Amino acid sequence: MQAGTIPKSLEKLEIQVSGKIVSQISRFGSLSRFDFDVESFHIEDEALPNPGRIQLTSYERELTFEPEDRWKFRVRLKQPRSLVNPGMGFDYASWLMSKGVTANGYIVNGSAKQIIGLDTHFSIHFDPIQTARKGFADFLATQPISKSHRAVFGALSVGIREEMDDRTWRVLRNTGTAHLVAISGLHIGLVALIFGVIGGAIWQLSSRFLGRIIKQDFKWCFALSAAIIYALLAGLTLPTQRAVSMLLIAALVTFLRRNVPPWWLLSLTVTVVLIINPLAPLANSFWLSFVAVTILICGLDLEHKSKDEIITKGGASWRHLLALIKKWGKVQSWLFVAMMPVFAIGFHQISIVAPVANLIAVPIVGMTIVPLVLLALIGWCLGLFEFAALIVKLTSFLFQYVWNYLAWLGSFQWATDKLGAPGQAAIWLACLGFVLLVLGRKLPYRSLGAIWFLPLFVSGTTALSEGEFRYSLLDAGQGLASVVQTRNHVMVFDAGASYSSGFDIGEAVVGPFIRSQDYTHIDLLLISHGDNDHAGGAKSLDREFDVRHLMASDPSSELIPPSAEHCEEGQIWQWDEVTFEVIWPYSGVDRRGNNGSCVIKVSSRFGSLLLTGDIERFAEHQLVRLSRGKLSADVLQVPHHGSNTSSTQFFIRSVDPAIALVGNGYLNRFGHPATQIKERYRRAGVPMLSAADHGAIQVDFSSSGIRLQGERAQIPRFWRDRPPSDELIYLTKPIAKTRGDILPAG
């Protein structure tokens, strides 16, 4: 069993669970997804150790789930798992584990049964809080304001971000303002400040009755109560936990009448957060918030000048305003520069316009939009629905100006700089630069620490020589996405799937990989056929990159951009002394379906590669009969993900590969690659390596031989299984073949 996950022995098994829904419901068409706290966990009549919290997906449209409902299900689970590819900035498994999720899976159709009755199990999730969250979100949904405004207001008030669509997220990401809709220290601190002032006013009015209570203590109690309630309404996420922890520690220090340096307060908060959740550092938000606070505390010289120094006789209030603007601009500039390593390492993206966007958006959202949204929430809680609706309309009117400003900034093509994955050396140099820049306040020329950030913008990819080429089979789940690179050119062969949830392999996997290799264009995007698991990501790539040429077997597919040309047997071209040849489909072959897939042979003096898409027995037979010896290749992309309908013995013998690579999803519902197919390759003496086991598999065809490298082994995690030992042997020692040696990577 991996740390913090269910045992692998339970994967694939049908398990009976009962428990409570403890999150908001994410809905994508007929799909519903939520976190579920398990109360009982059984296989037939055998009780199993309780896994705690799991994430479940239901595919039954007619089922309606709500937070705090209790259900019984039959489920199939697996350990939290991420796609592992160069350039990807988001680790899904890390994110799940940082939330305490030990497994994710799906509900077996027809097995759901709601439990009606009293909940006798203790839970930290209180029904009134969840009811209020859902109720206010439903109230916002009825208001005549734009969808983007409803989504942002729901995120700001009760932490519900499921309504945020791709367009809204794109604007926020491109402008570096996504933190505005993640309830964190900024929002919690603002609520504490507002209610602290209210508490002080109440004490002033009631000092006759509260005379024995020190005013400062009363204000802190009032502020803390409001902050904790707000954090609960926001779902008590990791950022809100951190903010409340810091407030509680600050309040304790105040009550004890101690004068504590800010950095000491920060260190104690980090300690408390790690005690509560040792896996919190797995979440990018942990680093975002604590690094930002560190910069503000240690990196900036924000001493408070006296009024007399700023406002001179003559009432130069405008000077005071200019001084504040100057200081605020300094804060944004420092945050932008010093946070570069965090964004480059964690997200592989830096917003160029972030300082300008935040300079305006943060004070307006913080000082007007958030208080108004909270006022609407309070009015709704008190039953003043018309008042709440009026406030929501007013807030929407004001927010429209901010949103137009952000949308305008984010619309520029240069608004963001999307980076490749930095190497280990670049990360360590950036950390050194950060220490010098932020912590070296007494060092001369401390600003030169930013120079050490420059390697983050330079790819560590090894350059190829003439005739050399590199093939990367990407970890794209149950689908195919791969890339062929020569010295000066790049071809994408299939772009993976797109899903109703909005997740797109082209955007999330292939695009980041292309950028990690220092390309801003794609010389050829070739889609083997029109099935979603191969073509779903094509449009996002066409939209994001300069695609100079586009080919497909069946350009009529709605998933393929309309500018695509047919690929057909006989087409041949050469890049940098590497030859590309289309050997299927022949003219007149039905291009619809798997057997119409484009088949490409890539070859040079250093080796050869055969890309087969999803061809099945018919196409394999025709290729063997008509190809006139062109099938022979050192490396084979296994047809149709290793389905029983492909990889005939005759075909394998004709190709005679040294290595077979298969693109498939972990524990996919089709059972790919089939046991019979794996045995067929084994009997032929051909090792089969799977992207599901190894992550992205990179094959270099060079003067030193053919070298393989699995990405999962390059980026180890303590909760990840290592690739199967009976397959890893082929990555760690030479394999003798008649066409040469396939050498290990590294």
For 324-359, what is each residue's pLDDT tens digit?
A: 777 777 777 777 777 778 777 777 778 888 888 888
Q: Which 8-state DSSP code applies to residue 366?
A: I
In this structure, how many other beta carbons lie within 10 angstroms of the beta carbon of residue 125? 16
What integer pLDDT is reported at residue 125 of this predicted model? 43
What integer pLDDT is reported at residue 420 of this predicted model? 65
What integer pLDDT is reported at residue 340 of this predicted model? 79
Q: What are the angstrom distances between the C-alpha of 360 and each of 98, 169, 306, 354, 401?
A: 32, 19, 26, 10, 11
C-alpha–C-alpha distance, residues 664 and 670, integer Å: 10
Per-residue burial over 182-197, b if 16 or more Cβ lie within 10 Å, else e, is: bbbbbbbbbbbebbbe
Q: Tokens representing 555? A: 């350009």
Helix ranges (DSSP H) in 474-616: 505, 511-516, 532-535, 538-544
- CB 242 within 8 Å of CB 185: yes
Q: Tokens representing 700? A: 């270099």
C-alpha–C-alpha distance, residues 666 and 693, integer Å: 8
Which CATH number is 8-117's, of 2.50.20, 1.20.120, 2.40.50, 3.20.20?
2.40.50
What integer pLDDT is reported at residue 561 of this predicted model? 83
Question: Which residue is associated with the tokens 């999720």?
Answer: 101
Q: Which residues pair with 47 in a beta bridge?
A: 42
Domain 469-744 CATH superfamily: Ribonuclease Z/Hydroxyacylglutathione hydrolase-like (3.60.15.10)
- CB 180 within 8 Å of CB 361: yes
For helices 127-141 and 370-381, the axis angle rounded to 10 degrees is 110
Domain ranges of the chain: 8-117, 424-457, 469-744
**What angle is formed at CA 444 by the lines to CA 441 and CA 445, rounded to 5 degrees?**
100
In this structure, how many other beta carbons lie within 10 angstroms of the beta carbon of residue 121? 12
- CB 355 within 8 Å of CB 96: no
pLDDT 10s digits, 389-436: 999 999 999 999 999 999 999 888 777 777 666 767 777 888 888 888
C-alpha–C-alpha distance, residues 456 and 459, integer Å: 8
Question: Which residue is associated with the tokens 């009432």?
Answer: 315
DSSP string covering 679-697: HHHHHTT--EEEHHHHSSE
DSSP string covering 479-520: S-EEEEE-SS-EEEEEE--B-TTS-BHIIIIIHHHHHHTT-S
Beta-strand relationship, 635-637 and 705-710? unpaired
What integer pLDDT is reported at residue 405 of this predicted model? 92
Rounded to the nearest 10°, the torsion over CA 405, 407, 408, 413 is 150
Kindly list the averaged pLDDT for each block of 10 residues, start to end, along the chain of length 746: 71 91 82 91 87 91 86 92 84 83 90 71 55 84 88 85 79 84 76 80 68 70 84 77 81 77 81 82 79 75 44 55 74 77 77 86 86 89 91 93 91 76 76 78 73 76 88 95 96 93 88 88 94 93 93 85 88 96 87 90 95 94 85 95 94 94 91 94 93 92 89 69 46 40 42
Q: Which residues contact 665 (CB under 8 A, 6 or more apart)?
A: 477, 478, 479, 672, 692
